[in-house]
Homo-oligomer: A and B are copies of this chain.
Amino acid sequence: MAMKTDIEIARAANKLPIQEIGAKLNIPSEHLLPFGHDKAKVSSDFIKAQADKPNGHLVLVTAINPTPAGEGKTTTTVGLGDALNLIGKKAAVCIREASLGPCFGMKGGAAGGGNAQIVPMEEMNLHFTGDFHAITSAHNLLSAMIDNHIYWGNKLEIDTRRVTWRRVMDMNDRALRQITASLGGVANGFPREAGFDITVASEVMAILCLATDLKDLERRLGAIIVAYRRDRSPIYARDLKADGAMTVLLAQAMQPNLVQTLENNPAFVHGGPFANIAHGCNSVIATQTALKLADYVVTEAGFGADLGAEKFLDIKCRKAGLAPEAVVIVATVRAMKMNGGVAKSDLGPENVEAVKKGCPNLGRHIQNIKKFGVPAVVAINHFVSDTDAEIAAVQDYVKTMGAEAIVCRHWADGGAGAEALAKKVVEIVESGAAQYAPLYPDEMPLFTKIETIAKEIYHADEVLADKKIRNQLQEWEKAGYGHLPICMAKTQYSFTTDPNRRGAPTGHSVPVREVRLAAGAGFVVVICGEIMTMPGLPSVPAAETIRFNDAGEIEGLS
């Protein structure tokens, strides 16, 4: 029997009408705003009415540093959600929405894989419910209002050299990274340098994902710094009176999307901020809504635990008052081998020594998670090529770290393959062992916060930052932004800022290249290394092979 591809499995899914999925969470159908028969938004009125209900239990799925071998974080999130339902818990999963643009570059963007997927996969990779388009519109309305303000006399005295607010497009388009705009004469404005980022990198995206309701959304949008005057004083979006219209544009997008897993369990798929210059988690409002409606909520964070889990715990949970009760760290035997120095092409044969050599990367993530007061369990996402000896090596190692590693076969078997993990997660949650606390207090100076993350999480010796950057941080502290958390932007492939240093390196420095204030989202972005906010397409883009075949099915999407 030929192995089915992810998209074949997704297409063959026996989907229930979305109203039936909503009913599992006691959402009446009049409060589900349908998008087709298999997607819906949960109405904000209904969400408001749940405010006084107790929260379910929050479980975070994170991973070791990613390798080309793939870890399967989303797949494990979905599998664990299905498994919790199988063992009788009312569980929902919360993941991010896919970005449209990149899916025309490289193949991909599936929501999970194998028998642990969220459907409808094709729509989720295309326009879905239009949230990202709304974010693009709101972002670019603000951009247009800036240049329009300058055009009509510039009463606010915007320094056109210091406009920090760019434009966005949900597309991989390197030609737009750096442009000169307003060319062509008097009627088109004052020429200036400008540029585009991809929509997921927009501060509006981060804001939508952190806002708790429309009022909070509007306040945050108004607090966005769009430019500076010659005297360096900031100009806010509210100075341009853009916040009201941006909120109106985003109101529908603020309502979380409900879809389903292959096993017909509820999944919230909402928001998708970049995991480097933003915090890389699904929306607060989706997570909070899920917690009101389900007993267990399984969610994930972008990249490896050094970036994703740290930001989830230090930004999202801190700001939204969420308290996770268990953390699942996903690892694979293959990725352990790669961390142990094996090339991707040599992953086939058994290599217990390499597995052992790679395990310290996993070990450090286990240690790190403990620093937030939340118990961790390791999920070994099983591949058919894994040998018993290799799996045992990981399990033995994890035991020495005071944790447990559980083999999960959700990719092959769906929820049934993750039952052992689900039982362990329930055991941890019910033990009441979790005592979540962020890594650093709000009142710590900004630079000390950066040092804390670098030393405690990256295990670096020092943070390198020139005087200009330190002064900038101090200026922000004086301006009242000192209480903000830090959003680190560095490579996802290593604990260090060098993507090639695998394993669990020590003795390294963290050089800070640039700091940015996301005053609306509410964090300080600390950029260590090259960060690309507008990707390009590859030499043969996936778009060239995406099309409808004669059967009317979409080809090439995944």
Chain A interface (Cβ < 8 Å from any Cβ of B): 30, 33-37, 100, 104, 123, 126-127, 130, 133-134, 136-137, 140-141, 143-145, 147-148, 151-153, 167, 169-184, 187-189, 193-194, 214, 218, 240-245, 247-249, 251-252, 536-537, 539, 541-548, 554-557
Contact = CB atoms under 8 A, between A and B. Distances in A.
Nearest to A33: B36
15 contacts: A34-B36, A34-B37, A126-B249, A127-B137, A127-B252, A145-B541, A148-B537, A177-B184, A179-B181, A180-B180, A183-B193, A244-B545, A244-B556, A245-B542, A247-B548
B174 A137 contact: no
Given A100-B137, A130-B127, A218 B175 contact: no
Contacts of A555: 244
Contacts of A174: 147-148, 151, 182, 187-189
B183 A179 contact: yes
A159 to B, nearest CB: 16
Contact of A189 (B141, B175, B193, B548): B175
A37 B184 CA distance: 46
Contact of A536 (B148, B249, B541): B148
A179 B180 contact: yes
Given A100-B137, A241-B545, 11 more contacts: A30-B37, A33-B35, A34-B37, A127-B252, A130-B130, A147-B173, A174-B189, A177-B184, A177-B188, A244-B545, A245-B546
Nearest to A554: B248
B127 A134 contact: yes
Contact of A175 (B134, B141, B147, B243): B147
A482 to B, nearest CB: 31
Contacts of A189: 174-175
B173 A140 contact: yes
Contacts of A147: 173-175
Contacts of A537: 144-145, 148
Given A104-B141, A548-B214, A152 B543 contact: no
Given A34-B36, A174-B151, A218 B548 contact: yes
A37 to B, nearest CB: 7
A170 B137 contact: yes
A171 B137 contact: yes
Contacts of A123: 252
A493 to B, nearest CB: 20
A133 to B, nearest CB: 4
Contacts of A175: 143-144, 147, 151, 181-182, 188-189, 194
Given A133-B133, A137-B100, A179-B179, A539 B30 contact: no
Contact of A251 (B34, B130, B172, B548): B548
A548 B218 CA distance: 9
A170 B30 CA distance: 31
Contacts of A248: 126, 546-548, 554, 557
A267 B494 CA distance: 57
A10 B187 CA distance: 37
A424 B247 CA distance: 47
A554 B245 CA distance: 9
B178 A183 contact: yes
Contacts of A173: 140, 143-144, 147-148
Which 3 interchain pairs have the tightest Cβ spacing? Answer: A244-B547, A178-B184, A133-B133
Contacts of A544: 240-242, 244-245
A547 B245 contact: yes
A547 B177 contact: no
A522 to B, nearest CB: 21
A266 B178 CA distance: 47
Contacts of A137: 100, 127, 133, 170-171
Most B Cβ at <10 Å: residue of A104, A134, A240, A557? A104
A97 B546 CA distance: 28
A213 to B, nearest CB: 11
A143 B176 CA distance: 10
A175 B142 CA distance: 13
A553 to B, nearest CB: 10
Contact of A242 (B241, B247, B543): B543
Contacts of A546: 244-245, 248
A448 B310 CA distance: 70
A36 B85 CA distance: 28
A194 B176 CA distance: 10
A140 B537 CA distance: 13
Nearest to A540: B152
B194 A188 contact: no
Nearest to A190: B175
A135 to B, nearest CB: 11
Contact of A126 (B188, B241, B252): B252
A198 to B, nearest CB: 11
A98 to B, nearest CB: 13
